């Protein structure tokens, strides 16, 4: 992949219905998708389903960009106190990121009443070797 002028190698947008996450939580399948930290963060908010839906959208977008063999569970959305969300990748996902020529992945999350969305960018920073 060759980056554009801003260093962006690839981008993905994922939109999903919050009801999908409500069903995941009700079925108990959320444990296979979300980390304990992601669940704890969401449970500390008044709208945990919406928070988790935005995170699931980000996980799916990142997994799609990183390609076969990378699952949503290989991606964790972490957030520092007062800081923006960022992606923490499993060693397998991190290796794939480097294989694609990227040095980092950026994420943006949003949610409304019924839908949540996330955008993920794979970026190569100028002057940095991805390896």
- Is residue 1 a part of any domain in this protein? no
- Is residue 51 a part of any domain in this protein? yes
The answer, yes or no, to whether residue 82 has pLDDT greater than 90, is no
- Is residue 23 a part of any domain in this protein? yes
For the whole model, what pTM was predicted? 0.90
| Total tally of structural domains belonging to the chain | 1
Confidence label for 2 from pLDDT (cuts 50, 70 and 90) = low
Reference 89, options 97, 80, 81; nearest CA is 97
Reference 8, options 127, 125, 130; nearest CA is 125
- Is residue 60 a part of any domain in this protein? yes
Please, which residues bridge with residue 38 across strands? none
CATH number at 21 reads 3.90.470.20
Domain range for residue 74?
Answer: 8-123
**Pair 75, 60: CB distance under 8 Å:** no
Confidence label for 131 from pLDDT (cuts 50, 70 and 90) = low
- Is residue 130 a part of any domain in this protein? no
- Is residue 128 a part of any domain in this protein? no
The answer, yes or no, to whether residue 91 has pLDDT greater than 80, is yes
Mean pLDDT in residue range 96-106: 94
- Is residue 28 a part of any domain in this protein? yes
- Is residue 129 a part of any domain in this protein? no
C-alpha 129/C-alpha 91 separation (Å) is: 18
The answer, yes or no, to whether residue 92 has pLDDT greater than 80, is yes
């Amino acid at each position: 992949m060759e980056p554009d002028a801003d260093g962006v190698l690839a981008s993905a947008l994922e939109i999903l219905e919050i009801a999908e996450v409500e069903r995941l939580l009700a079925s108990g399948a959320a444990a296979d998708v979300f980390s304990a930290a992601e669940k704890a963060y969401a449970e500390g908010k008044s709208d945990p389903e919406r928070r988790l839906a935005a995170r699931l959208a980000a996980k799916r977008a990142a997994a799609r960009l990183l390609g076969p063999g990378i699952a949503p569970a290989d991606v964790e959305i972490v957030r520092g106190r007062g800081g923006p969300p960022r992606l923490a990748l499993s060693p397998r996902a991190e290796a794939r990121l480097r294989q694609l020529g990227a040095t980092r992945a950026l994420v943006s999350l949003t949610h409304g009443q019924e839908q949540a969305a996330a955008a993920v960018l794979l970026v190569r920073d100028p002057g940095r070797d991805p390896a």
